[in-house]
Structure 1
Amino acid sequence: MPLRIAHVVNDLAATTDAIVRVNAHDRRRFQPYLISFDDSAINRAEFDLYPDVKTLCLGDSRGFGRLRRLAKYVREENVQLLHTYHGRSSFCARWVSRWLSVPNLFEDGGTHFGYGVASRMLLMSNVVLCDRILCPSQTVWNSYGAMERLLADVGRVRIIPYGISTEEMASLRVDRVTELARYEVDPSCVVFVHTGRMVPIKDQEFLIRFYAFIARQYRGVHLLMVGDGPSRAKLERLVCEQGLRARITFTGMLPRQGVYRLLKSSDVFIMTSRSEGLSVSLIEALACGLPAVLSDIPSFRETMKKDKGVVFIRRDAPIPEQAARVGREVVDAPTNRQRLGREALELTRSFYDGGRWMRDLEALYVDLIEEARERQGP
């Protein structure tokens, strides 16, 4: 009988990478569940969620009502492991895990360098209550403070980088002209693309200001902003202020296949986050053979290994000089752009293989479930 694994998130829009996991599970060995604390319903078509994934939405419940419904569902479905992602939903789910003696895997996908006291306290409680801590990068673990490291115990920490199926990406056939025509983008342009949730930590405001210098220097460039989030309205106002309404397109949320099709129709991926754990958006872009223009932060340095397939930009350096350098390396030089794209694809195949990622993750699930059975006895 397949092992029953429940993925618990705050909301799906902020954790689309959880959907990649539940869809990728080997159905011969695992039955995946997806539980959202804040959503009242899940649009499967919007998120490309497979029909055999069982779901529970707790958004129409409040307070202890959510915990009671979650506990009842876990018990009735005989869920054998909870894989949690966010601080708030993780904290609540962990009490259910303790109550029902169900093992709990806490995936800590972000860095904590700028955390305040309240956020640190929530992190420490999650670290204490979980059975294992899963980090996608060394950068995430490095962001733990001394007390958090002491409470976590390095023996309970696993570092497993995200992965993606390069075979699936290679098999996806896309007509660039048709895809770009949906957004009235001239296919002769050098198309920059950014994918991700529009929130302050991603700093798309800096991205737009940076791109503005490139757009003023080159007429034949366009930027696609894929995604949504609380910062979107502010970003759209900034685009108008910069006089770039005809040069930047906001697509809104797209299904994963829609995101992949736009990535494969673009020329350059750009992301200027202040901090990241390991960006799934970046891994997806690299798997599509896109060179990356990235802010020079520890996570991106770790992700890009020997700086292949990337042009780094410094947030503390003058924008005009760096924009001119990006223009020379990826707009003016199509041969160099193609070389960087080949390096990006090879990097993905070497370090971020989707099959290896899921095998490592599923092996961790099995270990946790077996340990729980041993604790419970015959």
Structure 2
Amino acid sequence: MKIKVCYVISSLSNQGPPNVLYNIIQYMNFKKFDVSIITMVPEQKITRMEEFRALPIKIVQMSPDKYLNPISMYYVLRKEVKKINPDILHTHCPRSLFLVPFLPKKYKKYETVHIYPGIQQKIMYGKLKGAIVIALSHFFTKRMDLPIACSESVAQQYWNEQHFKMIAIPNGCSMPLWGGDKRQKENIRNILGFNSGLRYFIFVGRFSKEKNPDMIIKAFEELRNEGIGVVLLGSGDMYNELKSHECDNIIIPGFKSNVYDYMIASDYYISASDVEGLANTLLESMTVGLPCVLSDIPSHREVITKTTQPIGFSFNNKNLSDLKDAIHKVLKLDIESTSLYIRDLFQKYYTAKNMSETYQKVYVKKQK
């Protein structure tokens, strides 16, 4: 008999948790698992709904046209879960984490912890509401049958800060490994309008304070005459402010669906984030073999410490000079040998197939 797994998530937008969920499901053994998804709020313009619908799964939209209040949301969720009658309910967002624990005990309740609650919640919701969301996140996580950290560093943070143990299944990426075709790279650079005389760093993410895209722009404004540029892909509250800084070595196209093309066209990956679970964009950059400049935070250290040779350099993201020093250091790496090593490292640790298979083993083991 198949194990019935029902994932509960706010929406299927083209963002971190839904992308992780897609990578779990696309490699599942559907002879062993019956998979369904319940979404809780209307889809955004950047939804991946059609991609999910192409998989052999059932998708239930609780409220495709309007936002429900929490009480209505709970009753609709309970009704839909009763119809599906899953063995496992697996949450992937705060909304689902706060409601699923109130459902009957006969359902095994799992959670993927995509980030350690803290800085991001305070920036997204404000100090007071953010503190409440953080407290509730910790409270309900500790009451799930199986919380699963998206990285070793998130699991370690939970132990260090909460003295609470959880298993870790590191995020994985399904982008194909790039073969290093220089002609292809040059063609894509021309199509995207890159300056042939510059070496480009790429940032991909939400334009919000905890990601510090303004710090990256400031660094490249000061390094303007050093033959390097930066392209920033994303959207968010800071977009208009950042866009005003666009110039010959700073490209800000906004949100783009062809991230892989931009990765191939670039030479280095950069992140100044204050907090990450295990960033999908970092893993995507590894499929292309991009040496990196990374803020000195736990999830970035987790990747760097798996290496036996430099793949990039970390920096204190409160110190602009430290960022510029890291940029100068990464430019000195041999890009071809480093790129090959990064792609090998990705294959060893961070493929979506490996992540999905690990989740499936856990599902089977816990059902016995």
CA distance in 2: counterparts of 1:145 and 1:271, whole angstroms: 25
- 1:140-183, CA deviations, whole angstroms, 9 ceiling, x for partnerless residues? 1333377843xx4x3xx2111122357x3247989334433443
Please name the residue that 2:177 is paired with: 169
Select the residue among 103, 118, 121 that pairs with 2:132: 118
Select the residue among 15, 19, 25 that pairs with 1:22: 25
Select the residue among 128, 145, 152 that pairs with 1:138: 152
Distance 1:22 1:103, change over 3 A: same
Structure 1 residue 100: deviation in Å? 6.4
Q: Which amino acid aligns with 1:311?
A: F
- 1:234-291, CA deviations, whole angstroms, 9 ceiling, x for partnerless residues? 3224x2xxxx333333333344xx2223212221111111122211211111122111
Task: Tell me if 1:86 matches 2:93.
Answer: yes
Select the residue among 54, 57, 61 that pairs with 2:58: 54
- 1:57-79, CA deviations, whole angstroms, 9 ceiling, x for partnerless residues? 33524122222222222222333
Distance 1:130 1:226, change over 3 A: same
Select the residue among 188, 199, 211 that pairs with 2:220: 211
Structure 2: segments with no counterpart, 5+ residues: 123-129
User: TM-score by structure 1 length?
Assistant: 0.80
3-state secondary structure, aligned to 1:278: coil
CA distance in 2: counterparts of 1:146 and 1:270, whole angstroms: 27
Distance 1:309 1:113, change over 3 A: same
Could you tell me whether the CA contact under 8 Å between 1:87 and 1:126 is conserved in 2? Answer: no
Task: Tell me if 1:341 matches 2:339.
Answer: yes
More helix by share: 1
Could you tell me whether the CA contact under 8 Å between 1:291 and 1:344 is conserved in 2? Answer: yes
Query: After the TM superposition, which residues 317-328 of structure 1 pair with which residues of structure 2 at under 5 Å, given as runs?
Result: 317-319=319-321, 322-323=323-324, 326-327=327-328
Query: After the TM superposition, which residues 30-49 of structure 1 pair with which residues of structure 2 at under 5 Å, given as runs?
Result: 30-40=33-43, 48-49=51-52
Q: Which amino acid aligns with 1:123?
A: S
Could you tell me whether the CA contact under 8 Å between 1:2 and 1:31 is conserved in 2? Answer: yes
- 1:342-368, CA deviations, whole angstroms, 9 ceiling, x for partnerless residues? 232222122223332211111112233
Q: Which amino acid aligns with 2:252?
A: F
Please name the residue that 2:349 is paired with: 351
3-state secondary structure, aligned to 1:56: strand
- Give the number of equivalent residue pairs: 349
Q: Which amino acid aligns with 2:353?
A: G
Could you tell me whether the CA contact under 8 Å between 1:267 and 1:290 is conserved in 2? Answer: yes
CA distance in 2: counterparts of 1:271 and 1:147, whole angstroms: 24
CA RMSD in angstroms comes to 3.0
- 1:117-143, CA deviations, whole angstroms, 9 ceiling, x for partnerless residues? 423421232123311110122321333
Distance 1:46 1:75, change over 3 A: closer
Select the residue among 51, 66, 77 that pairs with 2:84: 77
